[in-house]
Structure 1
């Protein structure tokens, strides 16, 4: 596999969230390197609520790690509203 992850540092929370998704996707690729098998399995888990929740949990954990690496985007320490959905 290519070396693609240079840093967990991002300029914004949005970029951090997108990196979290990329990390989750890359994790799946490392776990199951066969694209053919991944495509075959995708319809099954795409309709499974537990699988989707699990995928969301992985993204959330990745985002938590990235946010910490970025010191929660220090510029707005007093304004935590940016982290509320």
Structure 2
């Protein structure tokens, strides 16, 4: 199995909240790839969770948790003047 960089560029620091949100989505996707490395199986599973409201909500919660971590790492972007 290939090594997956779970923190791209080894940093949670982003320029803006939008970049932070995009990073949160990427981190959530990476954890799915790590836990299910088989690409074909992931494609099959997309059909399942893509039609299940509770699973979609769980995905949103995972991204929100990742975003909260990134926001904290960026001190909520206050130091960059992007309040």
The answer, yes or no, to whether TM exceeds 0.5 is yes
> Alignment partner of 1:23: what SS?
helix
Match of 2:75 among 71, 75, 82: 71
Task: Calculate the aligned-residue CA RMSD, in Å.
Answer: 1.2
The aligned residue for residue 22 of structure 2 is 18
How far apart are residue 71 of structure 1 and its match?
0.2
For normalisation by structure 1, the TM-score amounts to 0.85
The aligned residue for residue 83 of structure 1 is none
In structure 1, list runs of 5 or more residues that go unmatched: 78-85
Runs of 4+ in 1 over 3 A off after TM superposition: none
CA distance in 2 between partners of 1:52 and 1:2 (Å): 24
How far apart are residue 2 of structure 1 and its match?
4.1
In structure 2, list runs of 5 or more residues that go unmatched: none
The aligned residue for residue 56 of structure 1 is 60
> Alignment partner of 2:24: what SS?
helix
Are 1:34 and 2:38 matched, yes or no?
yes
